Structure 1
Amino acid sequence: MYDDEDLSVLDADESLESPLDKLGPVDEETARPDPDLMLALLHSPDKSQRMLAARAFCELQDARAVSPLIGLLTDACPLVRVSAAYALGRNPDASAVDPLIDQLKRDWNGYVRKGVVWALGNCRDRRSLHPLLNALKTDIAAVRLWAASSLGQMAEVDYETAVGAVPALIQALLKDPMPVVRSNCAWSLGQICRELPSNAIYAGAIDGLIEALVEDEDVGVQEDAKASLLKVGDARALQIIEELEQEGFL
């Protein structure tokens, strides 16, 4: 059984933040954790010590931590699991991709799944594409939020992986009920478009961003779509933005 202080199931679209989302950088005046000590604590029988050690590797980069962190993805305590997921995102390794995907499929806790999709994005591996696409289409808002952003990282993998993310991102940009998810889709499409040649897939993504710019009722989504179009520098989109600004719509 899980203790009362463990994370509850994240099952409401309003609950978008994870306890680790606001972790700031390590204070420069504070000594960084001892990696060797933290490595030992990853195997502690005390769950609070395991969690502390996993969180330390959200700041520390050490290849020796990857294997024990993978083991902690199946820890009984969800606080340990989510900490391990974020730590693996800070210490991306090809060996972690399949275990992260497996945990995404089976973990009941939304906070954990959110950390896992963030880590999968940072791993920048083609194996992550379909699990992230499924999360964007089917999971709760907090997970869709980071699945959308993680799909933007596919731009750095290879062409086939990048273009494989585009249709689902366009659909979510135009149809997802949560503005924050749509905004992250706009950002990711911008990241991918910057790496694509001028072809039909590229044109479809630009069309989707323009539609969001013109039709989305949320100002934040409009602004993110505009920012992505400006970064891509597509001539057609720039002309439309200029016309909308002249007409007072932007």
Structure 2
Amino acid sequence: LGLNLSSVYDSLIDILNNSDNDDVRVSLIKAFGFAGDDSRALDCMINLLTSENEEMRIASADALGNIRTKKAIEEMAGILLDNHKPIESRILITGALAKTGSREAVEPLINVLGSDSNDLQIAAHDALIEITKQSNGKAKYFWQEWWDRNKVKTREQWLEDIVDKLEEGFKKLKVENDLLKEEIVRQTINTLKTSKEKDDIRPFIDALKSEYQAVRIYAAGELANHKEPEVVKIFVDLISDDDTEMRVLAVNVLGKIGGVSELKDLISALQDNETKVRESAAMSLGKLGKKEAVFDLLSALSDLANSVVCAAAEALGELRADQAVEPLINLFSNKDPKVRESAIVALGKFQDNRAIDPLINSLKDKDERVRWYAADTLGKTGTKKAVLPLIALLSDESARVRESTAAALGLIGDESAVGPLIKLLKDVDNRVAEKAADMLLSIECESFVLLDSIVNAFYAEEDHKRAKEILKKQIKDYEGLPEYDHALWQSKKRLAKLYFSDNDCQKATLLYEELVMHFDDNMEIKHELIVCLKEAKQYDKLLSFLSLWIESSLADNHLWWPEIYEIIEGLFKEDSFGKVRTLIDDFEKKNPHLGGPELKSRFYDLRKKSMAAMSPQGEGS
């Protein structure tokens, strides 16, 4: 459509007339963007006014309002005055006529003020107001009298119409010119992209002289990937370019590829008339990391534009110059919260004790982000002095402040934060609760009891993963200390059960093998070890444990014989007949009862079948 090709236009008109897809037709109507003198689709739009699709009718009427030719207005007036046409179509036509703003529509609209349809009368009245800018009456006689007085246009009114027409033509030419420029820019950039000599920077240097800003910016962006002295010199020169965007780009690039020799040029850009250039220059000086720029950046803290002050503050933070600490602290009282925030972020990179008290005071700032970054910065300092104020901030109304505060307490690592962080596990905000949990893992607790309280908290939240981490830490840190022997066994038991509940039988087995030796009367541990060994198919090891338990508890060993039989029966099913016979023989020597009359009979039966299977006759049968 933008290329105005008649063949394309005709094809689209054909679709509007003949397509069965209403959605497509509505989309095309909206996409046409009819010009004021374009009536090629006039008949099509008028026909669609009677469509059964409401959206189609509305779109058609809206499009007709863009066609302001005499013929179009006459056609629409004819429909408006035709009593045989549907009321809905005539009402839509009133809106289209109003959109044209044409005086030629006034008389037909006045005529339908006497219509039997109240809705049509109202629509015609609204259209008259839109065209004439008169709103003093609703009666037909009022409008007729007004029209009789005004239908003969004055010279000034005709001149106004001519001016409107000229302005409309100018807008059309401007659109066409803009489209042409866009095409030139697109083609030029494509040519640069497809250049055969990828390392040849000459085409990009030449493109910097283009009259089109987009071409210049693209070329400069490509040159930014090169660090040759010639390229650096080009960007130095661009700092004084007439185009603001080019100057911004130049200082940004010099912050990446420049060196000490370009400092003076970037410093000079701190005096640029445009705020964005000064802001970018300050940021680039911070990236260069040269302390020779400190004095000028300190001066930039007095810039009238707060965005420049913010950039200068953050740049000073990158440079970590001692003389910047006090000026940055002074910014804590600035009225702009963004300035206060930037100063706090900058001081977070200094680790300077002079900032501790001002930062603690900033925890009470009325701005959420200032409190957030003050907490974050205090965490990075690691100062114990901030622990109590930070604990108080855990009840802040802002979830992000609570999250940042939890992180800060974790970084400081003081044990007094454990209790408050445990309470934060129930925070309504999931991110806050997650951060509190992570920080509880990071704090190096020296108290076994405190670690226990963290484990209990994770248990309560069903956070098995983190509970296991703390339990492993307990066992590692306190193993071998006699005074913690009893408590450690309890921790091992809890850890084993967590592994067991998470179906991690391999890790659970290692612990259970220790635990059954220590808690030799704990049936639950024994049963869970049996499950784990079965899961791992470690039947030999399981049989050795079962044998041991039978020997050590002759009075109450009925629980283990069914387990033994189940394992031996499984071996029989796997055709391990020799092993079945040997195991039954061994167990019978240790305990002739073999678990009682019933099981003994079943054991004998298995042994008999195994022996039969092993005999030559059994093998041949």
TM-score (norm 2): 0.30
Structure 1 residue matching 2:348: 3-state secondary structure: helix
Q: Which residue of 1 aligns with 2:66?
A: none
Q: Which of residues 488, 493, 496 is equivalent to 1:239?
A: 496
Once the two structures are TM-superposed, the CA of residue 118 in structure 1 deviates from its matched residue by 0.4
Structure having the higher helix fraction is 2
Once the two structures are TM-superposed, the CA of residue 246 in structure 1 deviates from its matched residue by 0.6
2 CA distance for matches of 1:122 and 1:232? 28
Q: Which runs of 4+ in 1 moved over 6 A?
A: none
Q: Which residue of 2 aligns with 1:197?
A: 446
Identity within the alignment, %: 29
Once the two structures are TM-superposed, the CA of residue 117 in structure 1 deviates from its matched residue by 0.7
Answer yes or no: is the 8 Å Cα contact 1:88–1:119 preserved in 2: yes
Q: Which residue of 2 aligns with 1:169?
A: 421
Map 1:208-223 → 2, pairs under 5 A: 208-212=457-461, 214=462
1:41 corresponds to 2:300: yes
- 1:12-44 Cα shifts (integer Å, max 9, x gaps): xxxxxxxxxxxxxxx865752544132332343
Q: Which of residues 140, 144, 149 is equivalent to 2:398?
A: 140
- 1:126-181 Cα shifts (integer Å, max 9, x gaps): 221111111112331010010000000222xxxxxx121111000001x2101100
Q: Which of residues 268, 283, 288 is equivalent to 1:32?
A: 288
2 CA distance for matches of 1:153 and 1:121? 5
Structure 1 residue matching 2:288: 3-state secondary structure: coil
Distance 1:88 1:137, change over 3 A: same
1 CA distance for matches of 2:329 and 2:438? 29
Map 1:1-250 → 2, pairs under 5 A: 29=257, 32=288, 34-35=290-291, 36=294, 37-105=296-364, 107-155=365-413, 162-173=414-425, 175-192=426-443, 195-212=444-461, 214=462, 225=466, 229=469, 233-235=473-475, 236=491, 238-246=495-503
Once the two structures are TM-superposed, the CA of residue 76 in structure 1 deviates from its matched residue by 1.1
1 CA distance for matches of 2:338 and 2:424? 29
Q: Which residue of 2 aligns with 1:12?
A: none
Structure 1 residue matching 2:417: 3-state secondary structure: helix
Once the two structures are TM-superposed, the CA of residue 203 in structure 1 deviates from its matched residue by 1.6
TM-score (norm 1): 0.71
Answer yes or no: is the 8 Å Cα contact 1:57–1:90 preserved in 2: no
Q: Which residue of 2 aligns with 1:18?
A: none
Aligned amino acid, residue 458 of structure 2? L
Aligned amino acid, residue 109 of structure 1? D
1 CA distance for matches of 2:306 and 2:472? 46
Aligned amino acid, residue 415 of structure 2? V
Once the two structures are TM-superposed, the CA of residue 69 in structure 1 deviates from its matched residue by 1.3
Structure 1 residue matching 2:363: 3-state secondary structure: helix
Structure 1 residue matching 2:502: 3-state secondary structure: helix
1 CA distance for matches of 2:370 and 2:433? 22
Answer yes or no: is the 8 Å Cα contact 2:451–2:470 preserved in 1: no
Task: Give the unaligned 5+ runs of structure 1.
Answer: 1-26, 156-161, 216-221
Answer yes or no: is the 8 Å Cα contact 2:454–2:470 preserved in 1: no
- 1:190-214 Cα shifts (integer Å, max 9, x gaps): 111xx222422222123223333x1
2 CA distance for matches of 1:186 and 1:240? 21
Once the two structures are TM-superposed, the CA of residue 67 in structure 1 deviates from its matched residue by 1.4
1 CA distance for matches of 2:442 and 2:451? 11
Answer yes or no: is the 8 Å Cα contact 1:190–1:232 preserved in 2: no
Count of equivalent residues: 203
Distance 1:205 1:49, change over 3 A: same
Distance 1:239 1:65, change over 3 A: farther
